Structure 1
Amino acid sequence: MTILSFAEQSAWMRSMRPLATRIEFVFNDGDEGHPLLELLAHLDSKRTVGVGPGYGYYERGRPTVVKRSYAYDRGIIRAIESLGCFFPEAGNNEQWTELGDVDVIFLDHRGKMLGATVTHEGMIITPEDEEHMTR
Structure 2
Amino acid sequence: MTAPSFAEQSAWMQAMRPETARIEFVFNNGDARHPLLELLAHLDSVRTVGVGPDNWHYRRGRPTAVKRSYAYDRDIVRAIESLGCFFPEAASDKQWTELGDVDVMFLDKRGKTLGVTVTHEGMLIAPADEDRLTRQS
Q: Is the CA contact (8 Å cut-off) linking 1:3 and 1:89 kept in structure 2?
A: yes
CA drift at 1:82: 0.3
Number of the residue aligned with 2:70: 70
Match of 1:49 in 2: 49
CA contact under 8 A between 2:56 and 2:133: conserved in structure 1?
A: no
Give CA deviations for 1:41-98 in whole Å, capped at 9, x if unaligned.
0000000001111264322211110000000000000000000000000110000000
Question: Which residues in structure 2 correspond to 1:118-133 (within 5 Å)?
Answer: 118-133=118-133
Answer yes or no: is the 8 Å Cα contact 1:26–1:67 preserved in 2.
Answer: yes
The TM-score normalised by the length of structure 2 is 0.94
Question: Contact 1:45/1:69 (CA < 8 Å) preserved in 2?
Answer: yes
When the two structures are superposed, what TM-score results if normalisation uses the length of structure 1? Answer: 0.95
In structure 1, runs of 5+ residues without a counterpart are: none
Per the alignment, residue 93 of structure 2 pairs with: 93
Question: Structure 1 runs of 4+ off > 6 angstroms?
Answer: none
Per the TM alignment, residue 125 of structure 1 is displaced from its structure 2 partner at its CA by: 1.1
Correspondence 1:22-41 to 2 at 5 A: 22-41=22-41
Two-structure CA RMSD over aligned residues (Å): 1.2
Deviation at 1:2, TM superposition (A): 3.1
* Residue correspondences, number: 135
